[in-house]
Amino acid sequence: MIVKRLRDTRESLYLKQKDLIPLFEVSYSTISGYETGKDTIPLKQLIKYANKYNYSLDYLFGLKDFNELYEPLEIDLKLIGRNLRTIRKQNNKTQEDIAQVLNTSSSAYAHYENARNLIPTNFLYSLSLIYKNFSIDKVLGRKKITK
């Protein structure tokens, strides 16, 4: 879904792929790869895009059909790790359970919960398929803009 939403939102902003080169600091072919699904857009890149153009990550991931406005996000690995651990425990899952679904090792998954590494984009999407009422914005600690 990210592939379609990334392209659709870019086009709705009347931007061309080449217009995103300065934001992402990658080649045109890499941006094209993000939009065709050939390459997975790294979470840090997706966050840059969401921050700059005011898109909800849940919307970009296709978890919601509407966009909500959030404050810009600065990555906080400790907060993300705590949130990943909390939601896993609320769903009565072990790290081994999650690692198996993500097709990774439990020690690799533990690095995300222990704030050693940022969880990859595709793993976050897979978690949205495992957990009910999962919000990527919430897991990453984004705060809604209140009027």
pLDDT at 146: 80
Task: Give the C-alpha separation, 85 to 119, whole Å.
Answer: 12
Whether the Cβ atoms of residue 104 and residue 19 lie closer than 8 Å to each other: no
Q: Is residue 46 in a domain? A: yes
Q: Is residue 115 in a domain? A: yes
Q: What tokens does 122 get? A: 């595709």
pLDDT at 132: 85
Q: Which domain holds residue 46?
A: 2-60
Report which residue type is found at 39.
D
Q: Residues in the chain with pLDDT < 50?
A: none
pLDDT at 147: 67
Looking at the structure of the chain, the number of domains it has is 2
Whether the Cβ atoms of residue 112 and residue 118 lie closer than 8 Å to each other: yes
CATH at residue 26: 1.10.260.40
